[in-house]
Structure 1
Amino acid sequence: MKKIIQIARLELSLLFYSPIAWLMLLILFVQMSMGFTPKLPELVRGQGFSGLTERLYMSIDYAGVLSAILDKLYLYIPLITMGIISRETSSGSIKLLYSSPVKLNQVVYGKFTAMLVYNLMIIGVIALFVLIGAIYIPHFDYPHILVALFAIYLMLNAFAAIGIFVSSLTTYQAVAAISTFLALGFMNYIGTVGQGIDFIRDLTHSLSMPSRTARMLAGLLNSRDVIYYFVISGMFLAFTITKLELERLSKTVFQQVIRYGLILAIGLTATYVSSRQQMIGYYDATATKQNTISKNTQEILRKMGDEPVEMTEYINGLEDSYNQATPKQRIADIARWEPYLRFKPNIKLKWVYYYDSIPGLTVQLKQQKVSFNYYVMFMSNLLKLDLRKFLTPAEIKKRINLEGENARVVMQLKYKGKTTFLRTFSPDTYFWPKEAETGAALKRLMVNAPKVVFATDGYQRGMDKVGDRDYKTLTNTKLSRGSMINQGFDVDSVSLERGEIPAGIAALVIADPKVAFSQAALTKLRKYISEGGNLMIAGETGKQGVVNPLLDSLGVKMLEGTLVQESKDYANDLVAPNLAAGAIAMTPELQPFYLQKWVVSMPGAAALSYDPKGPFVVHPLLTTNAESSWLKNGKLVLDSAAAVFDARAGDQKGSFPTALMLTRNRNNKEQRIMVSGDADFLSNAELSRLNMTTINAGFALGIFKWFAYGEFPIDTSRPDRKDNATTLTKGSVKTIQIFYYGVIPGAIFLLGMVTLIRRKRK
């Protein structure tokens, strides 16, 4: 060890008595400063950013300083390592090393130790930019940034080991530098080669270095990638020692190949074993554990036990979603499943490519008088599809029934013989399912999905209709992430007049009945309520006479008249009640929205009243603003003058509930009923409203989660990030700019110049 340290000290002195080492540090600092410092004034102007540690340093979208420099670091190492061995060879001093009592492995390890120290100096230069965040960002995410710096250091060391080996192959330093550039460039970009071919894709991805660092840059430290960098460094150092030893010994080509092959085999074996999912250890360094699935999803996977889960992804080559799931994107697809594989390694991933008709295509082909086969050949040539790798329409239909899935990319999950679909979404800022949808699909494989049934009598709102007043967006839109069928629910409909209310359902929904139910239907409904069934009744103004007979036994009443809210921008009958405390009791996830005073849009709502001594415990879910709204008596006319409060006409000021939750114990469980004075708040139009910030969708799913006793949707929420503000001021930014544009680079330059001048004098 003493000799290794002595060699490392000598190598460092040679390194820093040349201008190249100082120049590399200076260029690195200036390059990072030009990308980082201009972002600081923006932080002073706006303090509403979220996750500043990640945003400033790791974010790819925001060009974080670490992610931006990651793909350029390989440019700095070759000029440092180019002479580390070749200098000895070209000057002849290598012969002295051969004859000295110093072992060759000590020489190589000493030179590599010198590079470890130099790489630490590179990390020190990078840390100067981290220092700004540590000083000016309260709640700075230190573990995340430390893992990121550690990952970069590992990559630099691997680069250095490769550079040392290349330097041992030639006596010319310029050739060594160019060759190292090529080798590191190859390792830097090899991960993009052959991504459309299974074997080549897996091989090239395993050789890609920056992709591994990028994973750890996100804050997820894992043993697979750490061991990979140690193995790469060890392999190339072993190659270097072998190269130098073989120059002293007379060995046949076969013996040399065996020596190198053995080193390579040991390295690949270690890499392969450490990359098996069962062997990987993880540490999520982020403050909110954003790289780790939530506790709820972890519990779902734990309850699945040792039984495998099969994920089969079906991709139609003729549909636009194919572009999101081509074979070239397989690595990214696997990466999306890694958070789940971390807790359940026996999830089997499969991909099936096929071609089949897409919605609306048959009509278009008939209009153009073109056959489907002709269209397939035309599109395959246009998209360069090898149809031999795609199942035909007949073959895919024998394997699975995908009717109703819009011919899009869809995943089928299978567990213990039970299957469910996991869908992709459009239009959506993120095409793939997120943890909420994936967790819901996994849980559906273990439990009976809660079924919500919608009554169809009396011209009620339809769960399968796309009209503004209907409910398809909420309940049954397969392309919508927030739709109930994608959050774990089953939905169905029933006629109270002609059918029977199904047993075991999560809730019955009666939305906007326009005609009175018959006595037979009322009898069925009252029996359902008396037996403890969960129920949602949503009425509309003008229909109090239809709805109140349904509410009599509940101790609730829809008041006559229409709620009015003063507004400069909206119609007076558009009421925007706030979440009440009862909403938090119903769904705790709504608490942040309650504290921020979010509203639910309700056009044409009626006020509700209830008997506190009735058969149910009642809590308001939504209440109107007493200062800006009132209950208008009589008919509300909107097409003339603005509505005006008139106490003489019977108008009533005050805060009125527009939605209530009712509970009582019945048949050894809590019966849950929700009553609303408006049916539009669940409608397609209100869930898509863009001219007002509302919580309609979240409130709607909260209601059905309450009906499902918390089973669905899956709660995947995480704590809010705390590093959301800075203490930067205009003055401090100016000071930082002076230091990072002038003082620090000047200090590096002067330190290098002084060192070189002193060396020259000696």
Structure 2
Amino acid sequence: MKKIIQIARLELSLLFYSPVAWLLTITLFVQLSLMFMGAMPALTGGQDLSFLTSSIFTDLQKIGILSQMLEHLYLYIPLITMGIISRELSSGSIKLLYSSPVKLSQVIYGKFISMLAFNFVIIMVMAFFVLLGAWHVPNFDFPHIIIALLAIYLLLSAYAAIGIFVSSLTTYQAVAAISTFVMLAFMNYIGTVGQDLDFIRDLTHSLSMPSRTERMIAGLLNSRDVIYYLVIAGMFLAFTITKLELERLSRTAFQQAIRYVGILIIGLTIAYLSSRQPLIGYYDATATKVNTITRASQEILKKIGDGPIEVTEYINGLDGSYFNSTPAMRIPNIARWEPYFRFKPNINLKWVYYYDSVPGITPHLIEQKMSYKQYVNFMVNVNELDLGNFSTAKELAQQADLRGEDARLVMQLRYKGKSTFLRTFPPPDQKFWPSETETAAALKRLTTTPPKLVFATDGYQRSMDKMGDRDYKILANNKASRYSLINQGFDVDSVSLEHNEIPKDIAALIIADPRVEFTAKAKAKLQRYIREGGNLMIAGEPGKQNVINPLLDSLGVQMLNGTIVQKSRDYSYDLLTPALAPGAVAMDKGLQQYYSYKMIVSMPSAGALSYSTNGIFNAHPLLMSDAQSTWLKKGKIVLDSAALEFDPVKGDQQGSFPTALMLTRKARNKEQRIIVTADADFFNNMELNRSNMRTLNSAFAMSMFRWFSYGEFPVDASRPLSKDNSTTLTKESIMPLQVLCYGVLPGVLFLTGLIILIRRKRK
């Protein structure tokens, strides 16, 4: 070991007694300075941001200084390693090494250690900018960045081993440098080659070194990738030792090939075994564990047990969603499931490609005078499809029933005879793929009975199946909406109280804005349902008190005559914006943050509720109007150019009024839950898409249905908020940083290198 250290010290001194090492160090510093200072203007002003550690240094989609450097790191190694062995070969000093008592392996290890030291210098330059960022970002996520720097160091070390081997192949340093450039560039970009071909996709991806670094730069340390880089470094060092040893030994070409192949087989075997999912160890270094599925998802996978889950992805080649799951996108698609593989390795992924017409295409074909066959041929040419790899719609129907999925990309999960769909989402949804919330809901549906929400259809009520402004399809039954109840784990259905019985064991019955009074028969069914402890939601509208109040009598709740109006400069007076009441937080703790921020819910034309405090139900307001700006307006409201005025003579009442109530009581060994609202519009299609004010309608509605399911759905996949969400950097402090990074420190490095080189030359 002593000889190895001596060789390493000698090699390192030679390295820094040449201008190349200093030039590369200064170049690296200047490049990082440009990246770092380019990121700073967006962070000035002290505004609240989020995940600044990741945004500045590791985010692959944003500025990500360290992630950007992955594309350039291979440029810094060849000029350093080009002479590390070829210099010995060209000068003839290699013969002295052959005859010396020093083993060739010791020489190679010593030279490699010197490269590790130079790589450490590169890491220290990067660490300097990390410390600059940490100085201006409170609660900086240091463990995350330490893992990212470790990943870069492993990558550089593998590059160095490759460079040493290439240097041993030639006596010309320039040839060694160029060859190393070519080889490292090949390793850098090979991961993009042949990704649409099954038989070479895995091979080229396994050779792609930066792609493995990306996982660790994101903060997820894993044994598979660490071992991979160690194996690559070990293999090329072994190749180098073998090459030099065989030069002084008389061996046939076959014997030489056997030795190289033996090294290759050993290395690949180690890499293969270490990549088996049950053998991979993980450490998520991020503060909020963003690379790890939440505790809720982990518990769902734990309850599923040891049985395998089959996930089949059905991709229609004629739909636009095809481009998100082409064969070339297979590796990223597998990577999306890796957080789940970590806790359940036997999730089996399958891909089924088919072609079928998309909804709404028929009028277009008629207009273009195009047959379906011509349409298919046209799309095949546009999307460059090989129909030999695609099933027809008839063939697909024998495998799965995809009716109602609009021929879009969809995944079907199967487990022990049960199945459910996990959908993707078209624009304007920008994410396309399901998030952890939707994925966890689909997984949970495989082992539990999904809660069913039933919408009453009597009295011309709002529809869960229509896209009209006043209806509820977006929230309840829209498969293309991420936040639709059916994509959050619920089943939805409808029932006529007049003609059918209310289903048993449902999560809740929803009665939304009935316009005519229920018959005695329908009322009797409803009252029996309430007596038996069924959960219920009744949403009324002002002007229909005579319809709603008879349904509320047994609950101790009444809807007051009149409409709440609210003074506003920008909006109509009948647009009410009540805030969350403490009862909303009691209903769902996830609303605590919104309650503290005094978030609002938009309610067009809302009434006021009154409730009994000594009835059979415990009642608590969920939403309250503002006492200063709202009042209960009696009589007919006329909205014209004249502003409404408070008129006590006509019975107007000033004050804060509840517009939504929750009622609870113990019934049949469970808590019966009822919600009454004096507005039926706050979760309709139009209000959920409101864009002219910031509202809480979607989250509030989802919290209500979570309450009805006793917290089962939607799955709570929320994470703690990031703590590195502010910066002390100001516009005034950018100039000193620019002087430091662009002038002072590069100048210090230049002068230091110049002095060392001059003193060396004098000696």
Q: What residue ranges of structure 2 are gaps of 5+ in the alignment?
A: none
- SS of structure 2 residue aligned to 1:557: strand
Q: CA deviation at 1:731?
A: 4.2
Specify the alignment match of 1:347 in structure 2: 347
Q: CA deviation at 1:455?
A: 0.3
> Does residue 404 of the first structure (1) align with residue 404 of the second (2)?
yes
Between the aligned partners of 1:681 and 1:729, the Cα distance in structure 2 is 42
Mapping of residues 22-101 of structure 1, within 5 Å:
22-101=22-101
Between the aligned partners of 2:646 and 2:29, the Cα distance in structure 1 is 68
Amino acid of the structure 2 residue aligned with 1:334: I
Mapping of residues 594-613 of structure 1, within 5 Å:
594-613=595-614
| 2:161/2:233 contact within 8 Å kept | yes
Amino acid of the structure 2 residue aligned with 1:398: Q
Between the aligned partners of 2:311 and 2:351, the Cα distance in structure 1 is 8
Specify the alignment match of 1:678 in structure 2: 679
Between the aligned partners of 2:743 and 2:732, the Cα distance in structure 1 is 16
Q: CA deviation at 1:392?
A: 1.3
Between the aligned partners of 1:46 and 1:407, the Cα distance in structure 2 is 47
Specify the alignment match of 1:227 in structure 2: 227
Specify the alignment match of 1:137 in structure 2: 137
Q: CA deviation at 1:156?
A: 0.2
Specify the alignment match of 2:655 in structure 1: 654
> Does residue 311 of the first structure (1) align with residue 311 of the second (2)?
yes
> Does residue 252 of the first structure (1) align with residue 252 of the second (2)?
yes
Between the aligned partners of 2:514 and 2:485, the Cα distance in structure 1 is 22
Specify the alignment match of 1:175 in structure 2: 175
> Does residue 590 of the first structure (1) align with residue 591 of the second (2)?
yes
Mapping of residues 572-587 of structure 1, within 5 Å:
572-587=573-588
Specify the alignment match of 1:728 in structure 2: 729
| 2:580/2:595 contact within 8 Å kept | yes
- C-alpha distance after superposition, 1:164-214 (max 9, x if no partner): 000000000000000000000000000000000112111111111111111
Q: Which moved more, 1:119-128 or 1:362-371?
A: 362-371
Specify the alignment match of 2:420 in structure 1: 420
Q: CA deviation at 1:487?
A: 0.1
Specify the alignment match of 1:292 in structure 2: 292
Between the aligned partners of 2:437 and 2:125, the Cα distance in structure 1 is 41
Between the aligned partners of 1:316 and 1:702, the Cα distance in structure 2 is 35
Between the aligned partners of 1:647 and 1:393, the Cα distance in structure 2 is 68
Between the aligned partners of 1:38 and 1:166, the Cα distance in structure 2 is 36
> Does residue 156 of the first structure (1) align with residue 148 of the second (2)?
no
Amino acid of the structure 1 residue aligned with 2:79: L
Q: CA deviation at 1:641?
A: 1.2
Between the aligned partners of 1:612 and 1:598, the Cα distance in structure 2 is 27
Between the aligned partners of 1:42 and 1:603, the Cα distance in structure 2 is 38
| 2:541/2:680 contact within 8 Å kept | yes
Mapping of residues 366-381 of structure 1, within 5 Å:
366-381=366-381
> Does residue 569 of the first structure (1) align with residue 559 of the second (2)?
no
Between the aligned partners of 1:412 and 1:362, the Cα distance in structure 2 is 27
Q: CA deviation at 1:163?
A: 0.1
Mapping of residues 478-493 of structure 1, within 5 Å:
478-493=479-494
Between the aligned partners of 1:255 and 1:230, the Cα distance in structure 2 is 26
Length, aligned pairs only: 762
Q: CA deviation at 1:413?
A: 0.1
Specify the alignment match of 1:621 in structure 2: 622
Give the alignment's TM-score, normalised by structure 2.
0.99
Specify the alignment match of 1:216 in structure 2: 216
Structure 1 stretches (4+) deviating beyond 3 angstroms? 366-369, 729-732
- C-alpha distance after superposition, 1:468-518 (max 9, x if no partner): 000000000000000000000000000011111000100000000000000
Between the aligned partners of 2:370 and 2:545, the Cα distance in structure 1 is 56
Q: CA deviation at 1:634?
A: 1.2
Q: CA deviation at 1:728?
A: 2.2
Mapping of residues 534-553 of structure 1, within 5 Å:
534-553=535-554
- SS of structure 2 residue aligned to 1:306: coil
Mapping of residues 387-398 of structure 1, within 5 Å:
387-398=387-398
| 2:39/2:63 contact within 8 Å kept | no
Between the aligned partners of 2:369 and 2:404, the Cα distance in structure 1 is 25
- C-alpha distance after superposition, 1:51-77 (max 9, x if no partner): 111111112332221111111000000
| 2:454/2:494 contact within 8 Å kept | yes
- C-alpha distance after superposition, 1:364-411 (max 9, x if no partner): 324433322222122112221110000112111111111110100000
Mapping of residues 329-340 of structure 1, within 5 Å:
329-340=329-340
Q: CA deviation at 1:46?
A: 4.6
- C-alpha distance after superposition, 1:344-371 (max 9, x if no partner): 0000000000101110223332443332
Specify the alignment match of 2:556 in structure 1: 555
Between the aligned partners of 2:295 and 2:679, the Cα distance in structure 1 is 36
Amino acid of the structure 2 residue aligned with 1:293: I
| 2:46/2:730 contact within 8 Å kept | no
Q: Which moved more, 1:373-382 or 1:104-113?
A: 373-382
- C-alpha distance after superposition, 1:550-602 (max 9, x if no partner): 00000000000000001111110000000111111111111111111111000
Specify the alignment match of 1:514 in structure 2: 515
- SS of structure 2 residue aligned to 1:45: coil
Specify the alignment match of 2:691 in structure 1: 690
Give the alignment's TM-score, normalised by structure 1.
0.99
Specify the alignment match of 1:477 in structure 2: 478
Amino acid of the structure 2 residue aligned with 1:399: Q
Between the aligned partners of 1:492 and 1:655, the Cα distance in structure 2 is 36
Between the aligned partners of 2:190 and 2:625, the Cα distance in structure 1 is 61
- C-alpha distance after superposition, 1:242-296 (max 9, x if no partner): 0000001011111111000000000100111111111111100000001100000
Between the aligned partners of 2:730 and 2:603, the Cα distance in structure 1 is 44
- SS of structure 2 residue aligned to 1:157: helix
| 2:450/2:489 contact within 8 Å kept | yes
Specify the alignment match of 1:755 in structure 2: 756
| 2:45/2:729 contact within 8 Å kept | no
Specify the alignment match of 1:240 in structure 2: 240
Amino acid of the structure 2 residue aligned with 1:525: L
Specify the alignment match of 2:276 in structure 1: 276
> Does residue 125 of the first structure (1) align with residue 99 of the second (2)?
no
Q: CA deviation at 1:739?
A: 1.1
Q: CA deviation at 1:640?
A: 4.1
